[in-house]
C-alpha cells in the first residue's frame, strides 16, 4: 500500500521541528547569534518545513486552515531568496513562539493518519 504524500510531508515537518528543538535545547540567544553552524542547521530545517508545507495538497491545506501553511512556505521563500539578509532575531522569535504550537498541530494531524 502506498503511503499518503500528505502524511509523508507532515512527517518531514515534524522531524524538522524535532531537529530544531534538539539544536536549541540548551542554546541561549547569545550562543545562537554567535554560532553560524547552528544558525545554518536551524534555517535548513525551517526551509524543509516550508517546502513540505508547500507540497501538501491544496485540499488538505484547505481542510486544515488552523495550520499556518502560508506562513511556513513564506518563511521558506524568505530564507531561500533573502539568504544574504536573514533576520536572525526573527528566526529565533519564530522558533521560540511559533514552533511549539505548530508541533502540537502537526502531531495531531499525524495521529489522524494512524
Task: Kindly list the catalytic residues.
Answer: 76, 81
How far apart (Å, rounded) are the C-alpha atoms in residues 114 and 25?
A: 28
Cell numbers 547569545: residue:
30
Alpha helices, DSSP H, located in the chain: 5-24, 29-34, 36-55, 58-63, 69-81, 88-97, 99-113
CA–CA separation, 87 vs 63, rounded Å? 32
By C-alpha distance, which of 34, 25, 7, 12 is closest to 95? Answer: 25
Amino acid at each position: 500500500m502506498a503511503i499518503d504524500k500528505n502524511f509523508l510531508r507532515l512527517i518531514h515537518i515534524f522531524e524538522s521541528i524535532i531537529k530544531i528543538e534538539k539544536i536549541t535545547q540548551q542554546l541561549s540567544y547569545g550562543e545562537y547569534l554567535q554560532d553560524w553552524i547552528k544558525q545554518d542547521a536551524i534555517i535548513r530545517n525551517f526551509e524543509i518545513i516550508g517546502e513540505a508545507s508547500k507540497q501538501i495538497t491544496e485540499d488538505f491545506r484547505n481542510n486544515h486552515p488552523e495550520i499556518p501553511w502560508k506562513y511556513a512556505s513564506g518563511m521558506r521563500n524568505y530564507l531561500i531568496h533573502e539568504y544574504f539578509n536573514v533576520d536572525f532575531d526573527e528566526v529565533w522569535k519564530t522558533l521560540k513562539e511559533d514552533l511549539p504550537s505548530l508541533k502540537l498541530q502537526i502531531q495531531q494531524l499525524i495521529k489522524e493518519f494512524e
